[in-house]
Structure 1
């Protein structure tokens, strides 16, 4: 019940120091400034001051009014009366402390509920992404050309390096969040939250393992298909080169066969005959 700093209040004893009523008003104002307009009080108006303090204390605080002679205050009566102030404000302070403690408990409970809701939401979103990604990876059809497979492999690598890493971070953050929730609830003597089946950390880890298995199978299929398409591309290129060479050979020999001038002597005719026989031999080789 400190009154330091209040003007016209200087407690030396339990008689004259209380005579003008300023001290009693200061005590009430210190704890309940809404009940006393202390700055409007005048030390010279002792009777008003005392009655003001008595009336406020009785009406607002439930403290029995003290019947005292202003000119000759009784020390024992003053001590007894002031003690009622002390007990009242001590209880009020204790109640305030209890209310503050209860308020903290309520705040902790509200915070825990908010964190639980956050965990449930984030877990649902992550699990949904995992399942949808598994479906997408399984549903990919391998294209039947080298460039198309290269594009598919590029898209797969983009998924692995761009889309997947943030989700891995989210998975780790979920573990930290759940640990935080459970630690706060233990500290607040609350029943510790445990996610329902399907949203446990172990469930999320299992789903992640399935994703990585499907991902591995998808990558293996893409790389095998890439090797196959590269071989087919090489074979096609080799065939094109041979076809071009054969086309050149055909054009050249077609001109020879179409000639009807075999010469005017036996030697020229025999030479032309040998050329035709060589062409027939080449054709037979194919």
Structure 2
């Protein structure tokens, strides 16, 4: 059932993209049509805006070459193609083909859309959790970039779910907690439609209808009124455990709709110019503030930062629609690209400023801040690849030891923070109270996350997998023929 749903959903999504190709093309049977490589290259060309090399013919060699070109391009975008091989695609193996298409959908569609949301939800603030990594270790961005990319898939999924929650929260008790059974009633789809286009849906009436009726109505309205392709059918969602990837693909289209602002290019260019002017003014304001507060106390510096951030967060709301406009790289004008670069630069400068202030905290708060950041970075690390359970076991064991060592200091640091006397010899505050409250909240978050249990669970899982592998290998103690045939047997297994 899951494989059937994914095939249908992914095929419809691909055809909606291929309709934009010149000339347009269409997929009839995903497993068969992908084998030649041409449609796969067409898809990637539309999504990336790039022209990709290809063989024009359809013999085995040319088809293989086209698929290799497609996979090489995906790897150049730092996509992990685990167990996805040319031979499997040529054979049209369902699990491999679906895995490849999902990787493409997630990277080019969901990740790109959710990236704008991550900017929206992670604006610089006084809370360390909403800023870019600020520890001295994290400041070495070049060394961290790979790990940040590794973590992004989790962030993209969470960002998309958070967006969906926000749309639904405007309509009373309708809520979503995942991309599975939360959508079964059809009400979340209708709530999102009502948020995007008020007046199209009667939610009170919908609450008295069956799941299938609501789903059918939501998919119909989305297709007719919002021009969103019908990727799902009611029977795909109104089941005990609907397919998460198919629902994510469909929900992302509503986000795409919300990002596609219907305005002329002239209007957009004018808004870009206004945003650029505002960004330049903010950068000058920040630079002047850094100079003016150079010899101030930590308390005064932090107060100035709070004042700056309060004004910044208020003013930025005017420019967010253009700053975070959802357009692919290929669609962006030169001025729009420059604006995005300036926005990223400003955000980076603000986060660097906050990181320096955190490092300048008076003792013993500086040590507590460093400890907090180290624990938070460890909790944010992506899980090791379970494809290699032996290596994953080693990594888990190492992380568990580090984490337990850090958590041994939890009570000591918390007690020190709570007993910190926030005044100098003149009875003046040393640190702004907001900073102390932020640090206490982060202790609560670390305690709530309980990463140690999570890590030990995965270590146990890897151990079980590794034991199973060893058990299997130990019973293969008879001769199986040539060395080549044994290697083939092991590879297949």
Q: Same fold per TM (> 0.5)?
A: no
Q: Normalising to structure 1: TM-score of the pair?
A: 0.34
Q: Normalising to structure 2: TM-score of the pair?
A: 0.21
Higher helix residue share = 1
